Amino acid sequence: MTVETAARRGRGRRPAAEVREAVLAAAAAMLLDGGMRDITFEKVAARAGASKMTLYKWWPTPGALAFDAYFAATAPA
């Protein structure tokens, strides 16, 4: 009998790094489109295809998310 030891993810669940990258990209695009007034957890989550709870888990405020998104977008490649 073989037992799998690797952790299994739920069906359709993306890796956390991929979700974080999508959230930061969505927030950066929203900053360019409409500035800080458009940055809400609800709008960013919808655009990135992530849950609002994920955003609340990773950032304390929409401003903190915008800050990280700005620096992620302007970081040298």
pLDDT digits (tens, 9 = 90+) for 1-37: 555 545 555 677 899 999 999 999 999 999 999 999 9
Q: Which tokens go with 53?
A: 């709870």
Q: What is the pTM assigned to this prediction?
A: 0.82
* Integer Cα distance of 65 and 63 in angstroms: 5
The domain that holds 64 is classified in CATH as 1.10.10
Q: Which tokens go with 28?
A: 């950066």
Domain-located, residue 31: yes
Domain-located, residue 15: no
Domain-located, residue 29: yes
Asked if residue 23 lies in contact with residue 50, where contact means CB atoms within 8 angstroms, the answer is yes
Burial (0-12, 13-18, 19+ Cβ within 10 Å), 28: buried
> How many domains does the structure of the chain reveal?
1
The pLDDT value given to residue 13? 86
